[in-house]
Amino acid sequence: MITIQISWTGLVLASLGLLLLAVACRRWERWGNPVAGWVARRDRRRRARLIETEDTLKVLYNLGGAERPVPVERLAQAIGTSRAVALRIADRMVRRGWGRSSAGGREVRLTEAGRRRALELIRAHRLWERSLADEEGFPLEEVHAEAHRREHETTPEEMEALARRLGYPRRDPHGDLIPDAQGRMEGETGQPLTRWPLDEDALVLHVEDEPPPLFAQLVAMGFVPGVRLRVQARQEERLLVEQGGYLHVLAPEAAERISVVPAPPEPVPLSDLRVGQRGRILALGAVNNQRRMLDMGLVPGALIEVVRTAPLGDPIEYRVKGSSLSLRKDEAREVLVEPLPE
């Protein structure tokens, strides 16, 4: 007969082992494979570092890092971090072949590969902003954050398909130029509203979307690309701006973020021109015989002159492309023209 003797210490240790095994099984059942969880956390950290590096890459590009070295201190200030953190991010750019350090590591500039990647990110971001505003109905003040999330996940093939679907737009909803597939950005940049002459009509070309609270305030006031405005008065601490029939008081810091260009003359109906006055045709309205009017030479861009009116004021005779034609007043109202100086 075999007798098994178990000490109290052994019994306690065995019970503790069974308890730990049960806890481990419960954790495995609840949280899944701990190895897989560690891998997922590692991948998330890597992804976060890559996004941080790519965001800094765009900032370096905007600071002129493609043309000249940028001090690390200036880069740190631009991204709102310490010099030590900026140095670590710059080192990541160098290891990826996107950057090149100089002056003993105190300066960094973009390589050609870094410049191309920065422009790819900028293009993806601005295309997504255009899509979010035009196709998905996002409020203008919310497109930036969502576009930032999507830009890092967009492949070159997806970016080209997005640009094609949008019709290859030249500007994003804020008025920023969108780089083309070769990284070119062509178009006027305008000038800050703070430098615009008094009492001259201007067209808003671009509104800076940073900082977000100020941008949201400007949007709420109606300052968005495409609107007309006029600076009525300028003082050291404020500007008085007329926009949409309202007078707004803007601080110089806010007005500096609005870029404007000369506003074209507002279109008027052709019927409003006086005898002897000339205009440039901009568009045809909803006329039933639009095809006939196009055949008569009433095409956008054509110059047209008022020759004479009938004794009762209707019809009106015009000269366009060297030929004379007559239009009833209700037809002439549907032709929008830009009045030309007499």
Given a cut of 90, whether residue 321 has pLDDT beyond it is no
Domains and CATH numbers, the chain: 36-110 (1.10.10.10), 191-262 (2.30.30.90), 268-339 (2.30.30.90)
Q: Which amino acid is at 145?
A: A
- Average of pLDDT values for 221-241? 90
- Average of pLDDT values for 23-33? 58
Q: In whole angstroms, what is the distance from residue 138 CA to residue 144 CA?
A: 10
Residue 70 and residue 64 in contact, taking contact as beta carbons nearer than 8 Å:
yes
Distances (CA, A) of 254 to 80, 248, 262: 21, 12, 20
Given a cut of 80, whether residue 42 has pLDDT beyond it is no
Given a cut of 70, whether residue 19 has pLDDT beyond it is no
pLDDT value at residue 85: 94
pLDDT value at residue 37: 67
Residue 249 and residue 271 in contact, taking contact as beta carbons nearer than 8 Å:
no
Report pLDDT digits (tens) over 244-275. 788 999 999 999 999 999 988 778 888 888 89
Confidence category of residue 293, pLDDT binned at 50, 70, 90: confident
pLDDT value at residue 193: 94
Distances (CA, A) of 68 to 108, 114, 153, 310: 9, 13, 29, 68
Q: Which amino acid is at 163?
A: A
- Average of pLDDT values for 22-38? 60
Q: Give the DSSP H or E segment for 84.
A: helix 83-95
- Average of pLDDT values for 312-327? 85
pLDDT value at residue 189: 80
pLDDT value at residue 124: 96
Task: Please report, in angstroms and rounded to a whole number, the separation of the first and last CA atoms in the chain.
Answer: 127
pLDDT value at residue 1: 47
Confidence category of residue 17, pLDDT binned at 50, 70, 90: low
Q: Which residue has the higher pLDDT, 58 or 39?
A: 58
